[in-house]
Each structure stands twice: as structure tokens, then as C-alpha cells.
Structure 1
Amino acid sequence: MILDKLIKARHMTKTVNATKKLLSERGESNGASMASDVIENYNTLDDDQKNQYFHYLAEKFNPSPADVLNAAQMYAEAPNADNLVWLMKVSEAPRQELLRRLNRAPGGTGMIIDMRRQLLKALNRKPELKAVDADMQHLLNSWFNPGFLKMYQVDWKSPAEILEKIIQHEAVHEIDGWDDLRRRLQPDRRCFAFFHPQLSEEPLIFVEVALLPDIPASVAPLVDKKSATVEPNQFKCAIFYSISNCQPGLRGVSMGNFLIKRVAESLKKEFPSLKIFCTLSPIPGFTEWLSAGQSLGAINLKPAITEKYQQSLNVLDLKKTSWSERIQAGWHPDTCSPKEREALESLCAIYLMHYSPHRGGNSVAKFHLGNGAKLHRINWAGDLSKKGIKQSAGLMVNYLYDLEKVEDNHERFVNGEVIFSRAVSQLI
């Protein structure tokens, strides 16, 4: 026991010393080998020690408050370029230079992503590490700018290592083995992923697309590995039915919106017959929002919508029987009453149309609406899986991408406005 503690303490000491050396003047000139030493020593730490190491970075690598104050006063008195550059220099945490030097080592980029993955797991319990996370995210946003990323189509001829990672990281509709994956890579399906030059065998994020004659209302046919393929002369719609992040350490680094737009442009060139680009999306958190029964007063809705919201909640009466209890009792979209269906569709429309731009709004809706899509249709019984019924009462959504209007729609959403179709508004 004592020996284990001594060995762990030695590992931490070696990691700290290697870090100091890397950030020294000598580390500037011989950065790659010294960065490799930090990586090698960091990888000997267990999870608790890694969190201790993050505390060390948080405490010892902050900007000097006196230098920042002095530089800010100089810039306030004489707001010229030289004083601004000096203020920017002294206000940057030395952690950022440490991370830049780490990135020079072979495997450094992947190591920093892994460090952030570990850091994010601790962040809720250790808010004092927020500045360390902010520095990491700031640099990762630059290094993983879409201009540096390569988009490739993943198909059945792709390396087995990459195909295995697609199966592993599919987060929306689980891939049930190789036969399921093979169907998702048939000619009427597409899978595209972003890769980074420093992580050539690691997909960062991928999107799955179905090429169909019409906009689907249900996901089951899209993920049915025994479904018949569609002939190319029938392709009218490109349906984005799943998008998955493969690197938890890149959370908050914007890539998905650029991937969808690049995929749409690529498919339009390949198939000029495609006229519609649309999603079939889940609504995670919808039933949690229902169960919370939150007041909508702060959103400043019209009285008629607020009344409809309350009437619909009264129909469901979730205070009497919770959503999970209803599911356990056998609740199913195919057998529920017409009044319950109307109430759920109305509440879903209110949730997506009016709650999405606000804090706590649906994450998937924020992604697509913020990406310039239009709230096109809410589909009853769109996802009858256990997960779909639990998280959204089986409802799914089509977000429509009109490539000529995405910029305008994006700007309007940023200003708090959701663009929606008449079909959705009629549900309220």
C-alpha cells in the first residue's frame, strides 16, 4: 500500500517536472521530445491523479493579475496597437503555450483531446477547472476549424478499423452488427465523416443519409437491415437520419453544422435529381420537459398558446401518473386515445417552436434550427423503439434544409425566432 503511494507520487512528480521543463526556454527550442516526455508521464497517472494534474495547471499557469491590470491601464490610457498586443499577450494563460508545445509531439493532438475528455468528466464536480477547459476548447476550436478537416465517404471498402468505429460511436440508432452496417452503406445510403490530418484513422463526427423518393415520417424503415434498396432514378430526398460525435474531448467544437452543409453540396452534385434535404430527428428530453411542467410565463407567449399548453398538460395529467409509470403500464402511441395524441402533438409543437431558442431548449432542435433549418413536420409514432417512446413519446421531427435560406434562417434563430411550417403551427 505504501509502496503504491510512493510509486504514484513519483509518477505525479515526474509529470509536473516534465511540464515545467517543456514550458521553459529550453522547451521552446527542443519542444517535440520534451512534449513526448510529458505525454509519456501523463499516461502513467490514474484518473484521480489526472484530476490533480488539472488542478496544478489551474493554479500554476494563470496570467499574472498585476501584469494584466497594468497592461489594461496602459491600453485604457493609450488604446493603440502596441498596447493592445501587449494586453493580449499578458492576459493569455501560459497553459495555452503549454498545450501548443504538447501538440508538437507525435500523438500530441490526440493526447490533448483525451485530456479534455477526462477534464469534462470532472468539470461538474470541480468548477475551479473551468479556465483549464476554456483554454483547451479555445485551441481545439482553432485546430479543428472546418478548413483543416477532410470529408470522406465511409463505404464498405473503408478500412475495417474505421468501420468498427462507426459501429462503436453510432449514438442515435444503434448499429446491430456488420449486416446492419452493410445495409447502411448500400447505394441508397451514404455515410460521411470528418477527419483531421493528425488523426487520419479517427473519424471525428459522421452523418448517415438515406436517399429516398419522399420525406419519411418513421425511422424504422431507414434502419431496417432487411429493407429493399431504392433505385437512383427515385432519389428525390436526402434524409439526414443520424449524426454522431466520435470524440467526447471535442465537445463544444463546432463541426456538425459544416459537415451537413458539405454533405448536402456533395450529394447535390452527385445526384442533380435531389430537391429536398431534410432530417428525421429524435427529440431527446421532450418527456422530461413535459414531466417538469415548467411555467411558460418567462417566454412571453400569447395567452391562447399558454392556455393550450395548460389544457394539454391537464389531458396528460402527469402529476397523477408519471411518464415512466405510464410506459411501465404499457402506454404506446398505437393504442393511446385521440385526446392524448392531440395533447402530445400540441405540446411538442410548443416545445420546439417557442422553447427551442431559450436556455434548456431541445439540444437537437438548437443544432438544426441554429444551423439554418426549418421546423417542417412533427411525426406521430416516428420512433417506436423503447428509447423513442421513453424520451419523446415516439415523436420525431423533420427539419428542412433549404440551402438558399439557411443563412437567413440561422440569423433569425440567433435572434430568438424559429422558422416553422404551417403544418406545425396547426398543431397548436
Structure 2
Amino acid sequence: MNSMRKFLLSRPGKLLVYREITNVDMACKARLMSSSSRRGSAVTTQSQFLEAKVPQLMSNSNERGNQHSPWIPDSTVQEVCDHYQGLADEGKSNFMSAVASGMGVRHDKILTEASQLQSQVGREDAAILQAEKRLRLSLVPGYSTLFSHISRLQGGVKFLVDLRADLLDHLLSQQSLQNEAELKALNDTLKDLLIGWFAAGMLNLERVMWSSSCDMLEKISQYEAVHPVRNWTDIKHRVGPYRRCFVFTHSSMPNEPLVILHTALTRDISASIQSIVRKQNDIAVGVKSGEENPEEAQAAIFYSITSTQKGLQGVELGNHLIKSVVKELQSEFPSMHLFSSLSPIPGFRDWLISQINKQVKDEHNTSLFTSQELDSFKSALNITSPQALSTLKKVIVTNEWVKSESLVKSLQSPLMRLCARYLYVEKRRKMALNPVANFHLRNGATMWRLNWLGDTSPRGLAASCGMMVNYRYYLENTSSLSQRYIETQNIKASKQILDLVGNGSSNADMGTVNSKL
């Protein structure tokens, strides 16, 4: 430090800069400390409210652990809920931090009870069972008891679902590791409770039709996240002849669709979403309005599945809904034997652009496109510049390529190959990188067919350069395939997918490709 001081004193200009930087640094630290202090004070205010209303649930209470579920008047629990709902976003964040830190487990109590259990070894079973019970109760955080009380209120379960949605948002903004750990523990506890409350046997399967309530139809329209509904005529078409819309509801959240599945009834497995949502189904032509020919409904195409409640993230609903709908359709149409999704491929174009950027930096890298493919792009783009990849990236990002017949033709083979690689080879934690692929594969589906220009809407082009994929459900194999994927991460794929992946294996390091199935 002394040598640095001598150096700065010998150079007045640098000393001035050093002082300015030091002053700015101290000012930043002061603001951070002030902000932290204000936040700490706000959290303390929420803690004081909780201590006043539910003192028996606080970590510092001597009553904690003495009984499994202390009695709390419903009016008090409702007051806690009303208090939270009346807070602004920052106040809600402070409330959740106060709950996480003030209603967690008492670690000293756990250690004491664990020691007591150890001391009972060798004694009679009754003493050991009592010691185990006390240890088990000490492991239950106070907020778990609070959530159980809230769930019994009218609208309480919906309150907790919304609370978890807020909690997930709050977790993303954490800077304190201690606070983040406490909030994660709070989230894990609430998620486990919701998994139990929203088990498959507690959900109600409902078919939504044009005769359903306006409220339900409006929610179906508003929640649609995959293929947006344009107007009332559009929603009428999606719940009309040769279409099925099913939802899961819960008795604690009446008239609230938790997950929505749109299904098209067709002759065979659809390759294009335009044929489903943009025009009347061809098998409906010549049929009186409202009537269906069961013999024409050989395939069920699941073209949109939407979870509507962020607070139920991680709670398995979609898998159960698909299985329930399959049983319902088999009962209605005994001859139906084809079950498949027609799925978007979110993230492919972003992945593709990132890969192009890598190849732009290394022109000798041919892991993405071969020299022959690059020559084909140059011809289609009518350029001779070596910057073909940069130009190609631009036309892909702007969707200009789809307007050029020559570009569409030259891009089909390489983009199909790369999309198959993205779906089949690219992984995250050993599972399929693409979230939609991971969902269907976990359900036991087969990656069956990649469809060129399956969705040419601006949304489809932006997500996957217009490609869609079918995940086919072979009912006799779904359980075994689901287990195999979860345990070994092995993806069951059709010959088309494997051929596409194999065609690029000589150009890219894509790992070992499974034997053709």
C-alpha cells in the first residue's frame, strides 16, 4: 500500500483519478448498504406482522415442534392472506423473505431430537417411536403448517398457486446466497404440497365445446400459448367438428382450466399446422354442421398443450391429460389407432444462429455446413463473397429466405439435418435440450417425423425456421419407453430422424448415434 501511495504522489494526475474512482466506489457501497438496510427493515416489518398473527409458527417459538399442526383460527389465516394480497410487488417479496427466514426449521431443535433418538437405541419400541415422531415434527417448517391451513380456506389453494408464481419470480432476482437458499427451501416445500393436492386422481377431465360457458371459452382463448386464437370464429372452429379441446380442472379452482389440450381428428398424422388451425378440416367437407363420420377419425393429433398456471410449474399435469384424453377418444372412436403430437420446436433458430456465429469465426470449421452446401447458398443468394454465412444468417433472422424458392430448396436438406441434430443429439443434463422434445419423450413418445415448412407463420419461422415434429405415441410401448428415457436418456427415434442425424455425422462431431430402431 505504501509503495502504491508513493507511486500516486509522484504522479498527481493519476492520484486525482484514483481519488475519483475511490469516491465513486465508496458512494456505490454506501448506496448498496443503504438499499440493503432499507430492505432489511422492510423484511423485519413483515416478520413483525407474522410474529403478531401466527407466533406459534415462527422459528423462535418455544411451541414449535410440540404439536403437528397447531390450531390457528381461520379468520387469522384469512387475515394473513388478505395482508399479502394487499401488498405491492416489493412488499410481497419482503413477505416471502420473512416467511422463508422466520418460519423455517429450527436446526438446534433437530439436533436435539436426533440426539434424543440416538439415546433411545436399545430401549423399547414405544420410546423409539416417540423419539422418531418428535424428530419428524422438528423437520416440518412452520410455513408448511401455514400453507396447510391456507389450503382449507375458500380460494386458499388458488392463493397458494399464485403465491408460488410470485415466489418463482422472486427467486430470479436474489443476490444473497443465504436468502436464496431459504427461498428455495420454501419453494420446495410448497411445490411438494401442490404435487399432492394436484395428483391425477384429484383432477377433473372436461371437454370444452361451443356450448360451454363464455367464461371458459374466453379463458381457452386467452391462455392459448402455442397457436394464438385470432377471434371467436377461430375458437369455434377449434372446439367444433373433428376437433376436441380437453382441460383439467380442480375442485378447489372451479372453472379454471389448469392445462389445455387441443386435438384434431384426422385420417392420418398431420405434417402441417396450417391444415389444422388455418382452414376447415378437409374431412368435414360435405358433412352437415355438427356431424362427424367416426370412420374418418383414425388419428388424434395433439397440436397444442398449454399449462396455464405458472405456480404449478414442475407439477406433472400434461402427461396425465394426454393419457386421459387417449382413453376418452378410444372410447368414443373404437377404430382410432394413430396418436401423435404435431409439435413446435422452440429454440432451434436461436441455436442455429449461435452455431453459425461459431462457424463465421472459424471459416475452416465445417461442422455445420459442408463446402457444397455453402456453394449452394452462394448460388441461391446470388453472391460470390466469402461472407456467405453472414448473409445467410441475415436472411434467416429476417425470414427473407422463405420468399425465395431457390433458397427454400437449398436450405431444406441442411436445416432438416441440423434440426434433427438439435432434437436428437443436443442435451441438457443428459436429457433432450429442447423442452417440448423432453416433455413428450418423458411421456414415452417416439421422435417420429420432422416436417419441413410445417408452420410458416411468423411465429413458426422465428422459432424453428418453419419446421415441426411429430412425437408418436405407440400405446403399447409408452410405459417402457418413458422408463428407458428417464433412466438411460435413450431416445427412441424413427428411421427418418436417424437417417437425418446420420447424414450429418461425417460433417460434425455429434457423438455416438444409436443403432437404427
Normalising by structure 2, we get a TM-score of: 0.73
- Say whether the 8 Å CA contact 1:333–1:393 is kept in structure 2: no
Aligned counterpart for 1:151 among listed residues 192, 196, 205: 205
Please give the residue correspondences for 1:198-217 in structure 2 after superposition, counting only pairs within 5 Å.
198-217=252-271
8 Å contact from structure 1 (residues 190, 209) kept in 2: yes
Answer with 125-134 or 168-177: which moved more. 125-134
Pick from 138, 142, 151: which aligns with 1:103?
151
User: In the alignment, is the contact (CA less than 8 A) between 1:22 and 1:31 conserved in 2?
Assistant: no
**Partner AA of 2:414 in structure 1:** A
Partner of 1:350: 421
Rounded Cα–Cα distance in structure 2 between residues aligned with 1:11 and 1:43: 16
In structure 1, which of residues 414, 420, 424 is the aligned counterpart of residue 493 of structure 2? Answer: 420
- 2:171 aligned with 1:123: yes
Q: Give secondary structure in 1 for the equivalent of 2:414.
A: helix
1:404: Cα distance to partner?
Answer: 0.9
342 and 289 in structure 1: CA distance in 2 versus 1, 3 angstrom threshold: same
Q: Normalising to structure 1: TM-score of the pair? A: 0.87
Aligned-pair distance for 1:73?
5.3
CA contact (8 A) 1:206 1:244 kept: yes
Equivalent of 2:75, from 19, 28, 33? 33
Unaligned runs of at least 5 residues, structure 1: 1-7, 295-305
Distance in 2 between residues matched to 1:23 and 1:86, nearest whole Å:
16
Aligned to 2:306: 244
- Out of 316, 320, 336, the residue aligned to residue 254 of structure 1 is 316
The equivalent of 1:171 in structure 2 is 225
- For the 8 Å contact 2:264–2:301, the answer to whether it is kept is yes
Shift of the alpha carbon at 1:44?
Answer: 1.0
RCO higher in structure (CA 8 A, sep ≥6):
1
For structure 1, which segment, 31-40 or 167-176, has the greater mean C-alpha deviation from structure 2 after superposition?
A: 31-40
After superposing the two structures, state which structure 1 stretch, 331-340 or 46-55, moved more. Answer: 331-340
Letter in 1 for 2:306: S
Checking the alignment, whether the CA contact within 8 Å between 1:279 and 1:400 is kept in structure 2 is yes
User: Does 2:124 match 1:52?
Assistant: no
* CA 373–187 in structure 1, closer or farther in 2 if over 3 Å, else same: same
Whether 1:383 and 2:455 are equivalent positions in the alignment is yes
In the TM superposition, residue 266 of structure 1 has moved relative to its aligned partner by: 0.8
How many equivalent residue pairs?
Answer: 412
TM-superposed deviation, 1:226: 4.4
Query: Secondary structure of the equivalent of 2:87?
Result: coil
Q: How far apart, in 2, do the equivalents of 1:245 and 1:322 lie? A: 36
Query: 1:290 corresponds to which letter in structure 2?
Result: L
CA contact (8 A) 1:15 1:42 kept: no
Kindly tell me: are residues 286 and 100 of structure 1, through their superposed partners in 2, closer, same or farther at Cα, counting changes over 3 Å? Answer: same
Contact 1:309 1:350 in 2 (8 A): no
The code of the aligned residue for 1:348 comes to: C
Contact 2:355 2:368 in 1 (8 A): no
Cα distance change on mapping 1:138 and 1:220 into 2, 3 Å: same
CA contact (8 A) 2:43 2:98 kept: no
Separation of aligned partners in 1, 2:446 and 2:495:
11
Please, which of 401, 407, 411 is the counterpart of residue 331 of structure 1?
401
d(CA) in 2 for partners of 1:352, 1:312: 24
SS at match of 1:274: coil
Retained in 1: the 8 A contact 2:57–2:143?
no
Q: Give 2:472's aligned amino acid.
A: L
Output one character per residue of 1:362-421: Cα deviation in whole Å (capped at 9) or x when no partner.
000000001000000000000101111111011100000111100111011111100001
Partners in 1 of 2:389 and 2:136 — Cα distance?
54
- One-letter identity of the residue aligned with 1:411: Q
Contact 2:431 2:438 in 1 (8 A): no
Look up the equivalent residue of 1:29 and give its one-letter code.
Answer: W
Give 2:329's aligned amino acid: L
Match of residue 187, structure 2, among 120, 133, 136: 133
C-alpha change, 1:338 and 1:419, in structure 2 (3 Å) is same
**Cα 1:64–1:312 shift into 2, 3 Å:** farther
% identical aligned pairs: 33
Determine if contact 1:212/1:236 at 8 Å carries over to the other structure. Answer: yes
Kindly state the Cα deviation for residue 314 of structure 1 after the two structures are TM-superposed. Answer: 7.9
Once the two structures are superposed, what CA deviation does each residue of 1:67-118 show, in whole Å capped at 9, x if it has no partner? 2334455667859873554443222222111111111111111111111111
**Equivalent runs, 1:74-113 vs 2, <5 Å:** 78=121, 82=129, 84-113=132-161
